Chains A and B, each alone.
Chain A
């Protein structure tokens, strides 16, 4: 049973954590694609920017959270979301809009977004330095250990405070996005534009407004994902950048342009990663005696070593592109 608790901690909790972050990240990537039809590589650095804003605000007002009974970093998150949304709209106005106005091919926008990536990383390093910094400036990171009331169980299920916030905020974001896309007229207009931009315009939908709204949503989601990731570990200028591959893998697994698919894809990639690096020896060890003599369990029975975790999303990406290029759900529309 204790081995099973180990499994819960290392696969269930860890997989849900990375799954949630990939899911929120992939929703952003997929929304940009469905409205503007290009792969937005600077998304990960928008996430970093959001976390950086939280870091800056938390450093400036370290005690602000006390009044709310929450960590200052979490209290600052809405402000950081607004700032990141502003940044996203600004970047679009400054870099992507002129390109669109010239009617360039999507690949030009993709290259443009790579430029934005480098620029954002540079700017963030300029102010935040290159090292890791804790987002919990004045607060203490709570760690919850729950020993399940089962016989013989000693190993607790460990969940940290930022992970709890992550689960709650992921759920809230997904529900809010769902309501927005399906209930509000603006959300429907977004779906319409993703379906047929020309007709959307001929139906009186202002496509500039839709693009701006998309960036506001994408920026806010990026700030949530980046901040919660940095809360869980530490803030580093290149932390989110290394998530670009799993996030794109998640978006493609779910069918690009399909937000619900992106959420599912995020969890598929997250759990695939944790299952692949999990040492199965732990679960099998108790049954050692019932194995034949010639079979000796190696001490590390993981599919891939932890240091090679990044190959998992890469493998998923290749596999999906070969066998199901449109993703699990069919892509290209909201």
Chain B
């Protein structure tokens, strides 16, 4: 197996706070890699650096062996590196289905010329995209709310929609930022099932930030523990759970 994401010596400071401190991680292709760590460990910042929403002070991010450190989030998207957001994002004034239909890149309608002068070609492509969006919305179990404005969906449904968004294009790696937060148990089961299916059947690689240890235990191998902006331990969930340093970081000194 090869590292599809290779983060090398990243540094990022906000003001005087060194949030990411000489951090290097690898994500193996085809894995569901978990990332845990106490609050303030720098998980979300590291995510934003990998997704391109933030630029690092120094260091490199390699994707499939290619240096993507200077690419914008949309350029990374087109290379197959997708993300979801910790607080679910949606286009609140479009329906759930339209939200999914926003995703696919390189459509004919993208050029002004086509939009005004080749409406037939645009319509044809739109039909294909709509069919795909309907498949995806069935897959994530949101068929019954497909025409609802996305802003009106529940928090859990928005998370499912986020996952659906990553399925609209040929993703290689999906970064999941606390996808289980605020999702009820039934929906969570669907989410976990969907992630496993995407990993197994479509070969998606996942990097998952999660607080829900049950979900981490069920989904992720290996698990990376982040503390104070760099990797503390990496290993299987059993190794992590029995590591004294991790227990100390989570529960304070003396707990072990």
Contact = CB atoms under 8 A, between A and B. Distances in A.
Interface string B158-171: 00000001000100
B112 interface: yes
A184 interface: yes
B112 A184 contact: yes
Contact of B90 (A187, A199, A206): A199
B74 interface: yes
Interface string A158-182: 0000000000000000000001100
B77 A192 contact: no
A196 B122 contact: no
B250 interface: no
A183 B93 contact: no
A134 interface: no
Contact-size category for A: 20 to 34
A183 B112 contact: no
Contact of B102 (A179, A203, A207): A203
B102 A202 contact: no
Given A201-B72, A202-B89, A204-B103, A191 B165 contact: no
Contact of A192 (B83, B94, B109, B115): B94
Contacts of A202: 51, 53, 73-74, 77, 82-83, 85, 89
The A interface is mostly helix, strand or loop, or mixed, namely helix
B91 A204 contact: no
A202 B165 CA distance: 10
A195 B122 contact: no
A204 B107 CA distance: 12
Contacts of A207: 72, 74
A205 B93 contact: no
A189 B90 CA distance: 13
Contacts of A195: 91-94
B201 interface: no
Contacts of B89: 196, 198-199, 202
A138 to B, nearest CB: 33
A213 B93 contact: no
A186 B112 contact: yes
Contact-size category for B: 20 to 34
A202 B52 CA distance: 9
Contacts, number: 88
Contact of A196 (B75, B77, B82, B90): B90
Given A192-B102, A202-B82, A204-B169, A333 B53 contact: no
Nearest to A217: B112
Given A184-B115, A204-B103, A191 B93 contact: yes
Nearest to A188: B102
B94 A186 contact: no
B116 interface: yes
Nearest to B52: A201
Contacts of A188: 102
A140 interface: no
A189 B83 contact: no
Given A186-B110, A206-B75, 17 more contacts: A180-B116, A184-B114, A185-B108, A185-B115, A187-B115, A189-B102, A191-B91, A195-B91, A196-B89, A199-B89, A201-B53, A202-B77, A202-B85, A204-B77, A204-B105, A204-B169, A208-B72
The 6 A-B residue pairs with the shortest CB-CB distance, nearest first, are A184-B115, A185-B109, A204-B77, A199-B89, A201-B73, A195-B91
25 contacts: A179-B115, A180-B116, A183-B122, A184-B112, A185-B108, A185-B110, A186-B112, A191-B93, A192-B91, A195-B91, A196-B90, A196-B92, A198-B89, A199-B91, A200-B91, A201-B53, A201-B77, A202-B51, A202-B74, A202-B77, A202-B82, A202-B89, A207-B74, A208-B72, A333-B93
